[in-house]
Amino acid sequence: MAGQAPGQRVHESGRPFDDRSGDRLRDWMGNDAAQFYDRRHIAVLPMAFCFPGYDAKGSDLPPPKLCGATWHEKVMAALGEVELILLVGGYAQKWHLGPGTAKSVTATVQNWRAVAPRIIPLPHPSWRNTGWLKKNPWFASDLLPVLQDRVATILNPAKDTSQ
């Protein structure tokens, strides 16, 4: 799972997605916390490992480009063959899909079928995106069932849910 950067609370806890965003993300994936934090099966690789701070308006700053440029490719190579990459938010999407792939997170997520089943782009699960989720009901009706089926199939290969 490629994310952006931890918020302040997650940075302080030292546990990725240890907040309401993580609750929503686990719900989207159909996982409980035990499954989500099982390092044998799920790796969380943000574009920056530390909280980048706040801007003048109090919003989280973007992940510093230096972080991803320094180690992201090396970590991905060390992971080996990855069956599913979840791209959580625009920064991860631009890194993995390239900057010219879409003009917005919405466009990238709407075009998820073009990169599935190995890659699934997602909006950030932040509470700030609740309005986005309401404006884009296709996300819950079309993409989330495929995501949950894919995750379940990978985590439980003997229990193929696609049939």
Q: What is the pTM of this model?
A: 0.89
pLDDT tens for each residue of 102-127: 789 999 999 999 999 999 999 999 98
Note the pLDDT of residue 160.
Answer: 54
What is the rounded CA–CA span in Å between residue 5 and residue 42? Answer: 17
Please check whether residue 1 is in contact with residue 43, taking contact to mean a CB–CB distance below 8 angstroms: yes
Note the pLDDT of residue 161.
Answer: 52
Secondary-structure class of domain 2-155 per CATH? alpha beta
Please check whether residue 28 is in contact with residue 117, taking contact to mean a CB–CB distance below 8 angstroms: no
Spell out, as residue ranges, where the chain has pLDDT lower than 50: none
Note the pLDDT of residue 5.
Answer: 83
Note the pLDDT of residue 162.
Answer: 55
Give the CB-side neighbour count of residue 147, counting CA atoms within 13 A.
24
